[in-house]
Chains A and B, each alone.
Chain A
């Protein structure tokens, strides 16, 4: 059974629209993350959460808003979508937020903005 579920697997959106990317982890971890990967930036850290609280935000744009309704959920809401937002978005989790905690990645959501 997959331990980290990301939905949907593929997503096509029009410029200016809003989408929510879903992430659930069943590893019992306390920390969750969002990363973005594109041809321009190989692996870009976006957010980290610990016990449902924001720990770090490296995303300059407020169009990206993480939402944690439960300890094992961390969704990513993206508003006013732009073609530049086209990328694969990875959710990850780790036991804690320490730098030496192994991060486990989900399969990703591939977003294409037209």
Chain B
């Protein structure tokens, strides 16, 4: 049973568009949701994270929208660039328990 689910294995958008990556989760106890970005040949790196007390977190062109009632969240990448092409992992945790990872969405930005 997947506790953190990323519905799209891959997503292609044109340069300049807003890319929207979706994530849903099962455990209502989860209270911390990071997104990690992974470029080919590298390890994942933290991109942006949100806590369940907030419904939105913004960092430059990257925004997380969080819906606690629906148990889902999305990562919006505004004005997407070819350099944003990467795999994005949604993850979740609560308390001192370890991160639970989604299966990742491979994002391709077409110039």
In the bound complex, residues from chain B placing their C-beta under 8 Å from that of A106 are 43
Main SS of chain B's interface residues? Answer: loop
Taking a contact as CB atoms under 8 Å apart, the answer to whether B43 and A99 are in contact is no
Partner of B43, one of A56, A92, A98: A92
Number of A-B contacts (CB under 8 A): 56
Q: How large is the interface on B (under 10, 10 to 19, 20 to 34, 35 or more residues)?
A: 20 to 34
Within 8 A of B (CB), among A4-36: 4
In the bound complex, residues from chain A placing their C-beta under 8 Å from that of B101 are 42-43, 45
Taking a contact as CB atoms under 8 Å apart, the answer to whether A97 and B98 are in contact is yes
In the bound complex, residues from chain A placing their C-beta under 8 Å from that of B62 are none
Taking a contact as CB atoms under 8 Å apart, the answer to whether B46 and A43 are in contact is no
Question: Whole-angstrom distance between the alpha carbons of A48 and B93 in the complex?
Answer: 15
The contact string, 1 if C-beta is below 8 Å from chain A, for chain B 37-72, is 000011111100101000000000000000000000
Is A108 an interface residue when CB atoms closer than 8 A count as contact? yes
Taking a contact as CB atoms under 8 Å apart, the answer to whether A99 and B99 are in contact is yes
Q: What are 14 sample pairs from A and B whose C-beta atoms fall under 8 A apart? A: A42-B101, A42-B103, A45-B101, A48-B98, A90-B44, A97-B96, A98-B93, A99-B94, A100-B32, A103-B46, A105-B44, A106-B43, A107-B42, A108-B41
Q: Which residues of A contact B (CB under 8 A)?
A: 4, 42-43, 45, 48, 55-56, 90, 92, 97-100, 102-108
Q: Which residues of B contact A (CB under 8 A)?
A: 32, 34, 41-46, 49, 51, 87, 89, 93-99, 101, 103-104
